[in-house]
């Protein structure tokens, strides 16, 4: 499983496993199983496309981090929400959903809001030959 960790004092965003999964059409299903299956396919991508996706994922990650208004949290254990976001080739957010809630509603909602506020995302680079990308990400909150 690959991850691109981002560290900051009280919270972090991690692109999980696939960083991004490319499809040529929108899948009908949307679940943890779908994200995990697509994550496994990531390891089979050709290297130039893999590198381009990694760079694109970092750009998306930075935009989400900048847009994230982290809620106050005083729990003793970190809480993590897992999201799936879908982008089209223009960088438009098609869909975002919580695929594994954190149990802390304020984190879940702040994560969804950050993904929406971070729009617009950049259009795909010329190396991409797809019309859709799915990003499974985790956002983690620790006590201040």
pLDDT at 50 over 70: no
Count of domains for the chain: 1
CATH number at 97 reads: 3.30.1150
Per-residue pLDDT at 79:
94
The b/e string for 110-131 (b: 16+ C-beta within 10 A; e otherwise) is bbbebbeebeebeebeeebebe
Residue located via tokens 């005083």: 74
Q: Cα-flanking dihedrals φ and ψ of residue 124, to 5°?
A: -65, 150
Please say whether the beta carbons of 46 and 77 come within 8 A. no
Task: List pLDDT tens digits, range 80-138.
Answer: 999 999 999 999 999 999 999 999 999 999 999 999 999 999 998 887 778 888 888 99
Write out the residue range of the structural domain in which residue 93 sits: 3-141
Confidence band (pLDDT; 50, 70, 90) for 22?
very low
Alpha carbon distance 35, 21 (integer Å): 8
Alpha carbon distance 57, 17 (integer Å): 12
Beta bridge partners of residue 13, listed in sequence order = 139
């Amino acid at each position: 499983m690959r991850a691109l960790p981002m560290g900051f004092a009280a919270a972090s965003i991690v692109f999980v496993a696939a960083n991004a999964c490319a499809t040529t059409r929108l899948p009908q299903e949307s679940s943890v199983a779908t994200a995990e299956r697509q994550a496994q396919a990531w390891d089979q991508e050709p290297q130039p496309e893999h590198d381009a996706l990694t760079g694109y994922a970092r750009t998306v990650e930075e935009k989400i981090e900048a847009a994230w208004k982290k809620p106050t949290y005083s729990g003793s254990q970190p809480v993590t929400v897992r999201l799936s976001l879908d982008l089209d080739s223009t960088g438009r957010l098609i869909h975002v959903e919580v695929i594994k809630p954190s149990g802390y509603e304020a984190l879940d909602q702040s994560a969804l809001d950050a993904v929406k506020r971070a729009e617009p995302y950049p259009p795909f680079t010329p190396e991409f030959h797809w019309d859709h990308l799915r990003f499974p990400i985790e956002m983690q909150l620790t006590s201040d």
